[in-house]
Amino acid sequence: MQASSTREVAGEGGRAARKALMSSLEDTIIDIIAKTCSVERERITLDATLKDLDVHSLDAVQVLFEIEDRFDISVPERDDQYAAGTVRDLVEGVERLLAAKAAA
């Protein structure tokens, strides 16, 4: 039972660390969108799409460039990523890329 309890605590700590990372990551990406696209930060929610925020495709590409520079990652391009994807999808995608980078 001791080992199980230790794993549970480690799991809870891992979830807390992941949540803190996501919050920081969310804030950073929202800041990038706000600055790059001249959108009021208060308008940007995790459930908003870039289209909802009236972000044009060239500005969306600039957001990706800013994210790549900020986190030293390469964001793969998809044709449909701006039509349906939310800010949350973008945050989660960056989180996956950062995790893959850390594991490499």
- Give the pLDDT confidence score for residue 91 in this predicted structure: 92
Look at residue 6 in the predicted model and tell me its pLDDT: 42
How does 28-45 read in b/e, with b if 16+ C-beta sit within 10 Å? Answer: bbbebbbebbebeeeebe
Report the alpha-carbon distance of residue 43 to residue 40 in Å, rounded.
Answer: 6
Instruction: Give 49's strand partners.
Output: 86
Residues of the chain with pLDDT under 50: 1-10
The pLDDT, as a whole number, for residue 52 is 93
Q: Mind listing the pLDDT tens digit for each residue in 24-54? A: 999 999 999 999 999 999 999 999 999 999 9
Number of Cβ within a 10 Å radius of residue 67: 21
Distance CA 39, CA 33 (A): 7
Q: Hunting for tokens 């799409």 — which residue is that?
A: 49
* Cβ-contact 96, 103 below 8 angstroms: no
The pLDDT of residue 77 is 73
Contact by Cβ (8 Å): 82, 54: no
What pLDDT is recorded for position 15?
58
